[in-house]
Chains A and B, each alone.
Chain A
Amino acid sequence: MTDYAKITKYLSASQDRMTSLIDQISSGKRVSKPSDDPVAAAQALLYQQAKSIAQSEKANAEYTSSLLGFSNSALQSLQDQLADVHVEAFYSKNATLSGQDLKNLGEKVSAMYQSMLATANSASSTGPLYSGYSRNTPFSSGGYAGDQGSLSLPIGDSQSVIASDNGFIVKNGLHTSVLEPVKQLADSLLAGNPATPAMLESLEEAVDLLGQAQTSVGSRMQVAENAANNAEDKIQRYASLISKTTDLDYGEAIAALEKDKAMTEALQKVFVSIQGQSLAKYL
Chain B
Amino acid sequence: MLTPAFGIGLSGLKAFQKKTDTHAHNIANASTPDFKKQVLTLEEAPAQYQEGFWMGRGVQVGNVSRVIDELLEQRITAAKNNAGKGEGLSSGLSELEAAVGPAISDFADSLQGLRSAINAANQDPDNLVYREAVLKAGEAVANSRNKVSSKFEEVRSNLNSQLGFQEQSINSTLDSLQKINSELEREPNNPELIEKGRSLANEIVSQVGGSYRIEEGTGKVQVQGVNGTVLKNPIDMRIATGGVVGGINQSLETLSSLNTFISSSSSEFLSAFNAVHEGGTDLAGASGKPFFLENGGAWSMGVVDPSELALGQGGGALDNRNGLALLGGFDTRNTQGNKATITESLAQATAKLGTSVNSAKDTGNAADNVLEGLLSQAQEKYGVNVDEELVGLMQAQRCYEACAKVIQTADSMLQTLLDIKR
Contact = CB atoms under 8 A, between A and B. Distances in A.
A45 B350 CA distance: 9
Interface of A: 1-2, 5, 9, 33-39, 41-43, 45-46, 48-49, 52-53, 55-56, 59-60, 63, 125-127, 131-136, 147, 149, 151-154, 160, 163-164, 278-280, 283
Contacts of A42: 347-348, 350-351, 354
Contacts of B101: 33-34, 41
Interface stretch (B123-131, B152-160, B172-180, B240-248): B123-131
B120 to A, nearest CB: 7
B316 A60 contact: no
Contacts of B108: 45, 48-49
Contact of A133 (B319, B344, B346): B319
A70 to B, nearest CB: 14
A2 B352 CA distance: 38
Nearest to A67: B123
Contacts, number: 140
B78 interface: no
A9 B375 CA distance: 14
Contacts of B390: 279-280, 283
B315 to A, nearest CB: 4
Nearest to B375: A1
Chain B, interface SS category: helix
A279 B386 contact: yes
B320 interface: yes
Contact of B358 (A35, A127, A147, A160): A35
A126 B372 contact: no
Contacts of A163: 123
Q: 7 closest Cβ contacts across the A-B interface?
A: A38-B354, A34-B354, A133-B316, A133-B315, A42-B351, A35-B357, A1-B376
B119 A56 contact: yes
Contacts of A133: 312, 315-319
Nearest to A53: B115
Nearest to B112: A52
Contacts of A147: 315-316
Interface string B128-153: 00000000000000000000000000
Given A35-B357, A154-B324, A160-B324, 4 more contacts: A2-B379, A33-B354, A55-B116, A133-B316
Most chain A beta-carbon contacts within 10 A, residue among B312, B351, B375: B351
